[in-house]
Structure 1
Amino acid sequence: MSQRQARRKPDGISAVLAEAYDTALLDLDGVVYAGGAAIAHAVESLGRARDGGMRLAYVTNNALRTPDAVAGHLTELGIPADAADVITSAQAVARLIAEQVPAGARVLVIGGEGLRVALRERGLEPVESADDEPVAVVQGYGGPELPWGRFAEASYAIARGVPWFASNTDLTIPSGRGIAPGNGAAVEVVRIATGAEPRVAGKPLPPMHRETILRTGAERPLVVGDRLDTDIEGAFNGDVDSLLVLTGVTDGARLLAARPEHRPTYVDADLRGLLTGQPEVVEAAGEFRCGGWTAAARDGALVLDGDGDGDGERDGDGAVLDGLRALCGAAWAHAGDGACDLAAEKALARLGL
C-alpha cells in the first residue's frame, strides 16, 4: 500500500524481508549499536541478510563521524562494511549547500569531522570563524565536547544574513548510558540566539532520502529504524516500506499513539525481523487479531484478549509482538488520520511492555 494512506494496521508478508527487499536502509544508533556496542542479534542477523543477497546500507543522521570511521567501527563489531555503504546527513546537507553556493565557497562548520569531509567532497572549503567570510553556515552533531563558543560563531554569521543549514534536528540521541541531547538541541541554541530557521537535510526530510537513493541505487528499499519521527517518517515521505525495531527510543505506548506518518509497515523486536516474514493482522468486526491475541477499542481504552498461544507455535517474544501488532491495528484504526488517545496501559502490561 502507499505510505501516503493512513495505515490501519501493520502489514503481513509471507516472504522473508531480506528476500522481499533488495536493500536495507539501516539506521545505526539504536538499531545496529548503542553507545558503540553492537545491539543483541545485530551482527548475526545482518550477516545472514547480507549472505542471502540483501544489500546493507547504513543511513545515519549523526554527522559527527566520517563514512570511513563508521565503516571501520562496523567492521570491528563483526559487520564488514566499506565507506560506500554509509550515508550520513553530513553528505546530504553538503549536497544541499553545494547546489546553492558557488564551487569552492567557504562554509562555516559547527560540528565534527564528518561535516568537513562531506563539504570537501562537494568542493567546498570548511572554515572555523564567522570572520572568514563564509557564504553558508552548517551545523551538525559535534559530540559532547563541542565548545559553547562554536554556537556563538554560528550566531554571528547568521545575524549578518549568511544562510544556515543543519544536518538534522534530532533532539535526542541514544547512548550506552541512556538518552543524550542530539543536534536538534544544539540547533535550538542557535535558533534562540538568532531567531532564524535552518534548512534541514537529514531524516525525515527529502534531501536525506534523495542522497540515500542516489548513493545506493536501491530499487526495493526497506527502511529499518528505531525512531518514528525520523526513520519511519522518512520512509513515509519517500513512499517506501519500513521496519520498526524496538531496540531504541520507541516503546509500545509511542507506537500505539503514532500518527499516520509515523506508522511503520512492519514491527519487530530487533534485526532478526529481517530474517523472517511478518504475521498477518486480521481485521473483523472492529477487532484485530494476530496470533493468539485479539485487540479492540472499548470504553475509551485499548483491550487485549487471548493468551498469545495462537496455533501453539508462537511463544516468548513472538507472542508479545503478535499482541503489539494487534494493538496497533485497534489503535491506528480508531485514530484514523490522528493520534490514538485511548488508554493503553493495561493492554501493554499484559504483554510486559
Structure 2
Amino acid sequence: MIGIPQQVVQDVASPDSLALSPTASDAGIATADSLLNGKPDPEMVGQLIATGQFSEFGHRVKTLMTDAAAGLVPEIIGAILVFLLLYITYRFVGALLDRLLKRGKRVDQGVQSLLKKTYRIFAFVLIAVMVLAQFGVNITALLAGLSIAGVAIGFAAKDTLENFISGVTILLDKPFAIGDVIEVDGTYGVVEDLTLRSTRVRTVKRQIMVLPNIHMVNQKVINYTMMGAVRVDIDFGVAYKEYPEEARKVVLPLTEGDERLHSAFPPTVVVTSLNDSSVDMQLRVFLEDARLENQIRVEYTEKIRAALRQADIEIPFPHLQLFVDGAKALESSTLFLPPGDPER
C-alpha cells in the first residue's frame, strides 16, 4: 500500500480547497444576497444572470414588484379621493355657473359658451395636477415644463391661436351673435354657433358653412339683424310705353295685410333706372325677421309678374329694331316684300 503524505490529505480534505473561485460562486451568492436584501445593483444583477441563478432573480423581481404595488396603494386611494372630491366640486360649480348665465339676460350666448368651455378646461387641468401631486410628482417642475411646452406648441399652432384670439374678439366686439342673419364673402345665412376656433353659418340651402374666426374678423360681414329691420328690394321692369304710376298702383296693393312686413316702414315702389329696353322699377319692403328675406323676394317676384299681366302692363324683354334706309343694293330684293305678295 502506497502511503499518502498527511499534508496532501489535509489539503484535499480542507474546506478552503473545496471552495469555488470568488469570481464565480461567491460572486453569485453575493449577488443573490444583495438582491434579496433589497439592494438592486445593476452589476450584481448581471452577475446573477451570468451565474445562472434565474430562480433567485425571478424571486427578487417579484418581491420588488409586490413591494412597489403595496407602496402605491395609499397613493392610489388618496388620488381617487382627491379626484372624486374635485370632480363633485367641478359639477356643482358648473351647474351654478350655468344657472347664473341663464339668468343673466345681458350675457350673449357666445360669451356664455366661451365662459363654460374656459371653465371646463381650467377645471380638468386643475384636477389632473392635484391627482398627480398625490403620486409625489413635483408640481413646480411640471408647470415649468408645461410652460416651455406651451411656448413650443404656440409657435406650432399659430393658426389655432389666431382663431382663438379672433373668437374672443368677436365675442367682445359683438359684430354678430348666434341667431343673427349675416352675409360674408357673398354667402347669406344664419349664425348657428360660435366656438373658440370657428363660426358656423347655416346657409339658405341648409348647409353648415364653417369659417375660421380669423376669416370673420378680416372679411366684410353684413349683419341684417342688428338694426331690427332689413329692407328687401324686388326688381321688375315695364315697357317705355307704360306709366310708372300705373305700375305702382298695381304693385303696392299686393303688400296689404302681410303681417311679415315691418309696420314702421311702409312699402314703396320707385323707378331705379331707364334701361335700354325697359323702365326699371323696384318694390321695397321692410322685414322684422331677416331670415324671411329670400322667401319674400321669391314670393313677391311671382306676384308682381302675375299682377302686371292681369293689368295688361307690358313686361319688356331685350330686343332690337332694324331700320333699313337708302340701301340701294336691296331695292331689287324680294326679302322685304310683305307675305302673300305674288312677286315674293
Task: Flag the structure with larger Rg.
Answer: 2
| TM-score, reference length from structure 2 | 0.23
| TM-score, reference length from structure 1 | 0.23
